Homo-oligomer: A and B are copies of this chain.
């Protein structure tokens, strides 16, 4: 008889200890007004039954804190890891809890958000939210790095690339770049970012067209770079900093000097970009600011001062060009 077929409740413990439910509650919560002997007896009974208070029963009475669900693509990507950290940090002052979930690696990525939606007070996500969140009626939903079209389904924190991408084009033009290449990752949702970059850089390019080349996140970089160099490229804009750092390493192996032979640009502005040699120029995004906007939206939605969708639930955070040694 190791365990029961259902989890012990406060009533089971009360019966076993021969006291009332309330006394069990007092013992479990270190409340005053209970004799040491009784507490002892109750705690023993609880232990014998492997009793653990239900967080739902408790929450129902105590009105627990707001819980925000955060769904990201892949936590092994530093960008999402930093984003998660920033959201956790931004929620802390409100006393909110954050449940973190990852879409990739899940059996059914699309179900992650829907599942989580039933367990939290607000849902924040990155490229994984659909309008079809069963039982999410009225729940604040914020799409990160979303587009204005998505405002129909909920709030959107947009990450505005246009301006900084234009700045980058100017910067590269000054440096004499004539044949930039965008190196993309073959992951879901990457096309739009790469497209914007390529479009912004088009004026630089000889034929008015900037090639976009997809690579694997972790493999085959040297070969890809060899081909890119053979094509005469003089600048590479990587999909993100992590890829840029890997490309940098591959370039070192190929003994291609950066920035002399090839200029290299990352996107995201992660810490790692400034820790490598040469330090990476990056289209940086202020992750703290994204998190702050997100929390502001959610907070307003919960309070009723921000609409759950539409233009009033739209925030934009601009990229910022950080010029460093790699260009």
Task: Tell me the A residues contacting B by CB distance below 8 Å.
Answer: 2-3, 28-30, 43, 46-47, 50-60, 62, 64-65, 67, 75-76, 78, 81-82, 84-85, 88-89, 92, 97-102, 105-106, 116, 118-121, 134-135, 137-139, 245-246, 249, 252, 272, 275-277, 303-305
Contacts and interface: CB of A to CB of B under 8 A. Distances in A.
A3 B304 contact: yes
Given A97-B116, A102-B88, A275-B249, A57 B60 contact: yes
5 contacts: A3-B304, A29-B134, A97-B116, A98-B101, A272-B275
Contact of A88 (B29, B65, B75): B75
Contacts of A105: 89, 92
Nearest to A63: B56
Q: How many copies does the complex hold?
A: 2
B106 A102 contact: no
Given A43-B137, A55-B59, 10 more contacts: A53-B137, A55-B119, A59-B59, A64-B119, A75-B85, A81-B81, A81-B85, A92-B106, A97-B101, A272-B275
A60 B50 contact: no
Contacts of A84: 75, 81, 84, 100
B277 A252 contact: yes
Given A50-B304, A88-B101, A249 B277 contact: yes
Contacts of A46: 137-138
Contacts of A102: 85, 88-89, 92
Contact of A134 (B30, B58, B64, B137): B30
A67 B54 CA distance: 11
A97 B69 CA distance: 10
Nearest to A77: B85
Contacts of A59: 55-56, 59, 119
A275 B245 contact: yes
Contact of A3 (B62, B137, B139, B303): B303
